Structure 1
């Protein structure tokens, strides 16, 4: 290559480097504004914490050796007061010497440092510090989901091309080539050749740098605009915030060797379009490092994002085919999540185009999404790099067709990821079945909770909302007890006499004109309307929802017989409605897989036969992305099947909390937690017949 060509090449490469440096500088400046807002909010949070700490906590830092009586006699009652004072000022207090003042000040500073390390940044509406943070985060989010990719590309261009341009400098002038040493001339020619080989690809990536710079330099949004955007996609804000602020990662209970493998596992994000929370990154790396696992994170923590992150990583390593198996109700949601959160192509193997979509997926690859009941139509193949089974508790019965199909696929695929928020609904044996699909050879200890936990730790990871979503708004639960109206009581008595358990459960709505439950529900909806809040009403029974709909008048209704595409459209329309709206949903239809965080009031018309059913339903609203306090109202009739159900099911709820919630499963007597629906109905009918009919 001649001198002129080399000079032209270096000039183009130099211009590209300048664009990359400009992008990096502008990104750093916008990011610095967000970090400054984070620091301001965190310091305020820490000061609030220290203001609540009694000065006696200083003793904890010094092993009880420090005396605080002199401080308290001088009116110093909190750690914050001590932290704000200098050692010299402390020394002026009666009874505090120079050495003691230094110890007191050091203890207060140590507590402040610990509080700062542990402080979670929580965004509060109508707070000026939170508003500054939301505005700063919006500038980064508005630059697009590809911003991290462009920043990395700019960094690569800068670090790769800068030394090459320096080495190529002599090749840009005949005089420099003549006066350069033989070694420098050789280095220059090699650098020019390398630049020539790299420039086309880098220039293609760099062609987007100017638009990214323009997006970053847009004027900040107003506070109102930023808050409106935060309401719409708050989970994106908190994911970005977690990246900036440094999130504590809850690792669950894992053996040291497993933890070491997970921490050493890389996670490539070239095919991913979403930032991960720290715990989500850990979950994805856990799935990759251990290969065949179950993630039992509580509902609302983004298990699907963890799965997509794992798929994207495998795609970056050259894998081409993936399979997601899920209930029919969430097929559309999975397709949208995959295409929104990654650059992977999703194929819906469901509906009229099933065969054509299957052929296309087999030829071109991507992520096939198939229903649990449709999986048996697909022939297991080792071409699939990872099998993801969502709502995996649906395959807990090994005798069912869906469980057999999943087992066959588990046998053919090397990497398997089960996702479920309820790994155990009725008995511990269900958990054993799920783990058995992953590793039939895994020996589960029966020697108590600790031994059980260790034996399953290599295949099971569980995190709860309170452990990782420190910003999640509170959930307020209220039991709304009412008495039967005369007509409803007559209907209830007749249902008891007929031993008709379903009619007993919905008797409180038998006469809508006089129903006490419906009256209370109407009051709750009217209160939500006055406050501009969205409401979800859950019931197991369609006729109950019909009665509610005729009373409150709403176009938004979900039931199990609605097509998944239509179901998602209804949810989207409900979420997009400004202000107040009411969504009616069968609890088995809306309680699984759908994101309903637009609503902050949840009304449950009757107790459910499985505690997990209600938990899942509530988690549709009280999940990552929720920005408002969630109100949960349970409509209950005194001296009825409602009361009997709550009493009997309390033991099942305690069992789930004890065994599954903490990744601390233990062998238990089946009688302690296993109550079939049929036995439950018969038990309650007999009790109510004795009470009402003698």
Structure 2
């Protein structure tokens, strides 16, 4: 009957509405408390940004206002009145401008509008940096305000998303369901309204049941508690900032809306790929870290595209993006994951997974690797193993891992190696595969094709030598479904300055004699390290000691890279035994990490020595703000990697890079020839507007480079020609 009232109406609905009202209030409180915390950050941030904008506007001549208005603005009277910069106009009021002889109402309004337009554009480009070495009241206020958001942790984002969803839905459901709370009222209501009230009550009940099952009330209560904590002290806030600056800058980017260019943060992928990635959900249930916008896009890209290369420049957090993808898949019910990496970063992977997620992690390495593998197969989690161990593990049978992650994937660019064959077996069995590498292209486009053969063989034919020679844009279009790369300068606007200095010296008598002997022998490697032949008189070593002494005077940590172990031994002899290291290929992974931890934990100045191929991969050295390269590298990517160990997300000071070079030597020749290899790397592994690469530049090899340099030096020094050795 139309007037019949269902049994579930009445008191039961009133109780649901009471519970819903309480949940609605909790959700609105979280949003209000968060808005207050954000307002505190804005109040500290805005004056700092305004000052930077004013400084920029001060450097812009007032004539630029004419450009903004299409040349229609008459500025003669304004300039004659002494308002010669855009800042002067921007800070003037309409009334003040109209008091200037010859400036009418229209000119004043147009000038102010143009100045404000330029100021808005400048505000999008300036970056507020927090100088930990020179704290002052305004930046201290900003750090304290940010501390509250950072302390709330990664759960805050989930709480806010939940609160927003509940606030919106409950605001609709509660008024709609309340008529069902009174049986008489419901009986007298029209059928359409009665049915609407009962449907709303049913949906409200389901919403409350789900909220209880997922502890939503606790999530909201914890968020409000965190947001309402008393402000931290100056010291507490600054110390915490030094411990986790990346999280502070991440929250600042969210609040200030100082986000990188969208196209750059999404790797300039085509719109159809970007749309598919945006549609991919990202579950954070098992994640313990907040993601930057570009990192979230990277994790979604890996999930949406399934078999991809994440080629972000070093220092942008490829590991955390991989962990986010694994955490999402775990939330969907996947239980087994496999990470393959070089031995030197295995410990770093296990530490990162434990710190950034709730996932179980096992190191399948060393004498107990078979037991660890059996444990992983039985109980699940993330197994982390090395390229050298992978071939000893049985290929997956039955259900493969939910995702295979291969770190430093350029290690498998040669299909004939055992490591490449082992990886190929696993990539063939896994539906989702994520390759991580900051250098997918080193010398040849063929190396990148080798990675694609593991993942998307259908794309390989589109990456031809002809297309490579056509330039980076054609190259990126052809691999967009399986390749994502972002650069530091595009997405980490808060990074302090990176200052490169080439330190040229002249070889001393002993070093020059050693150099001539190496040239005569055709020994390329001996030529590269001849500058350290006599540590007592070495000009390079003398300059290195000066740089280290300057860093020590300023309390700065320094990392010294060389390709050669004996060069590092000479450096240690020159510096004394106080230096940490060296980190070398022969040093076990656990020992490497301890050296980095000890170096990072040392109070004040410290020096860490490292072979560039061992320390330039996987280790985080952002405690260092001075980097010394003992010699130029044959592969430009080695230098990029090494510098990025320090100049990466989390760095809080400017990084100074000093490259030691000897005049009239192999260093001169190497830099000139490598210029083309540098351009090749920039054009293809990075997004670049440089001229199209030539096939000859693509095909240069390390061996041919060494022969060329030796032959040129033998001719220059008129030394007898001998077969080149490398």
Give the TM-score of the pair, scaled to structure 1: 0.90
Specify whether residues 666 and 390 from structure 1 end up closer, same or farther in structure 2 by C-alpha distance, changes over 3 A only: farther
SS at structure 1 position matched to 2:391: helix
Matched, 1:242 2:253: yes
Matched, 1:534 2:546: no
Alignment of 1:500-539 (within 5 A): 500-539=523-562
Partner of 2:236: 225
Task: Give the Cα separation in 2 of the matches to 1:285 and 1:51.
Answer: 42
Alignment of 1:418-567 (within 5 A): 418-442=435-459, 443-444=462-463, 446-447=466-467, 448-449=470-471, 450-552=473-575, 553-557=577-581, 558-567=583-592
Alignment of 1:339-488 (within 5 A): 339-378=354-393, 379-380=395-396, 383-442=400-459, 443-444=462-463, 446-447=466-467, 448-449=470-471, 450-488=473-511
Unaligned runs of 5+ in 2: 1-7, 189-193, 720-726
Comparing 604-613 with 144-153, greater Cα deviation is found at 144-153
Deviation at 1:616, TM superposition (A): 0.5
**Residue 346 of structure 2, aligned match among 308, 327, 331:** 331
Deviation at 1:95, TM superposition (A): 2.7
Deviations 1:129-164 (A, max 9, x none): 332221111122223343333444556676777888
Deviation at 1:56, TM superposition (A): 1.7
Partner of 1:261: 276
**Residue 138 of structure 1, aligned match among 112, 123, 147:** 147
**Residue 573 of structure 1, aligned match among 598, 602, 607:** 598
Specify whether residues 193 and 161 from structure 1 end up closer, same or farther in structure 2 by C-alpha distance, changes over 3 A only: same
Comparing 469-478 with 122-131, greater Cα deviation is found at 122-131
SS at structure 2 position matched to 1:47: helix
Comparing 389-398 with 527-536, greater Cα deviation is found at 389-398
Task: Give the Cα separation in 1 of the matches to 2:481 and 2:165.
Answer: 37
Matched, 1:286 2:301: yes
Deviation at 1:531, TM superposition (A): 0.2
Deviations 1:538-568 (A, max 9, x none): 1112222122223322352111112212211
Specify whether residues 190 and 118 from structure 1 end up closer, same or farther in structure 2 by C-alpha distance, changes over 3 A only: same
Task: Give the Cα separation in 2 of the matches to 1:664 and 1:311.
Answer: 35
Comparing 485-494 with 9-18, greater Cα deviation is found at 9-18
Task: Give the Cα separation in 2 of the matches to 1:49 and 1:40.
Answer: 14
> Quick check: 2:475–2:684 contact (8 Å CA) kept in 1?
no
> Quick check: 1:452–1:665 contact (8 Å CA) kept in 2?
no
SS at structure 2 position matched to 1:297: coil
Deviation at 1:619, TM superposition (A): 0.6
Deviations 1:454-513 (A, max 9, x none): 222222222221111111111111122222222222333333333333222222222222
Partner of 1:53: 60
Comparing 599-608 with 345-354, greater Cα deviation is found at 345-354
Task: Give the Cα separation in 2 of the matches to 1:211 and 1:285.
Answer: 28
> Quick check: 1:460–1:663 contact (8 Å CA) kept in 2?
no
SS at structure 1 position matched to 2:414: coil
Alignment of 1:107-146 (within 5 A): 107-125=114-132, 126-146=135-155
> Quick check: 1:170–1:188 contact (8 Å CA) kept in 2?
no
> Quick check: 1:6–1:192 contact (8 Å CA) kept in 2?
no
Specify whether residues 651 and 451 from structure 1 end up closer, same or farther in structure 2 by C-alpha distance, changes over 3 A only: closer
Task: Give the Cα separation in 1 of the matches to 2:200 and 2:443.
Answer: 72
Specify whether residues 672 and 155 from structure 1 end up closer, same or farther in structure 2 by C-alpha distance, changes over 3 A only: closer
Matched, 1:38 2:55: no
Alignment of 1:137-216 (within 5 A): 137-152=146-161, 181=187, 194=206, 197-198=209-210, 200-201=212-213, 204=215, 206-207=217-218, 212-216=223-227
Deviations 1:74-118 (A, max 9, x none): 211122221222333323323322222222222222223333345
> Quick check: 2:90–2:116 contact (8 Å CA) kept in 1?
yes
> Quick check: 1:375–1:405 contact (8 Å CA) kept in 2?
yes
Alignment of 1:545-694 (within 5 A): 545-552=568-575, 553-557=577-581, 558-662=583-687, 669-692=694-717, 694=719
Task: Give the Cα separation in 2 of the matches to 1:665 and 1:455.
Answer: 19
Task: Give the Cα separation in 2 of the matches to 1:620 and 1:533.
Answer: 16
Matched, 1:95 2:102: yes
Task: Give the Cα separation in 1 of the matches to 2:166 and 2:684.
Answer: 51
> Quick check: 1:545–1:585 contact (8 Å CA) kept in 2?
yes
SS at structure 2 position matched to 1:374: helix
Task: Give the Cα separation in 1 of the matches to 2:519 and 2:205.
Answer: 88
Task: Give the Cα separation in 1 of the matches to 2:290 and 2:200.
Answer: 40
Deviations 1:603-639 (A, max 9, x none): 1111211111111001100111111111111122222
Deviations 1:222-280 (A, max 9, x none): 33332222222111111222222222332333223222222333322222222222222
Comparing 668-677 with 357-366, greater Cα deviation is found at 668-677
Unaligned runs of 5+ in 1: none
Matched, 1:302 2:311: no
Comparing 226-235 with 317-326, greater Cα deviation is found at 317-326
> Quick check: 2:9–2:183 contact (8 Å CA) kept in 1?
no
Specify whether residues 65 and 122 from structure 1 end up closer, same or farther in structure 2 by C-alpha distance, changes over 3 A only: same
Deviation at 1:197, TM superposition (A): 4.2
Give the TM-score of the pair, scaled to structure 2: 0.86
Deviations 1:312-343 (A, max 9, x none): 22333333322222211111111222222222
Deviations 1:38-73 (A, max 9, x none): 333333333232222221221222222323233222
Specify whether residues 168 and 62 from structure 1 end up closer, same or farther in structure 2 by C-alpha distance, changes over 3 A only: closer
Task: Give the Cα separation in 2 of the matches to 1:128 and 1:150.
Answer: 31
Specify whether residues 486 and 260 from structure 1 end up closer, same or farther in structure 2 by C-alpha distance, changes over 3 A only: same
Query: RMSD across aligned C-alpha pairs, in angstroms?
Result: 3.2
* Corresponding pairs, count: 690
Task: Give the Cα separation in 1 of the matches to 2:693 and 2:620.
Answer: 34
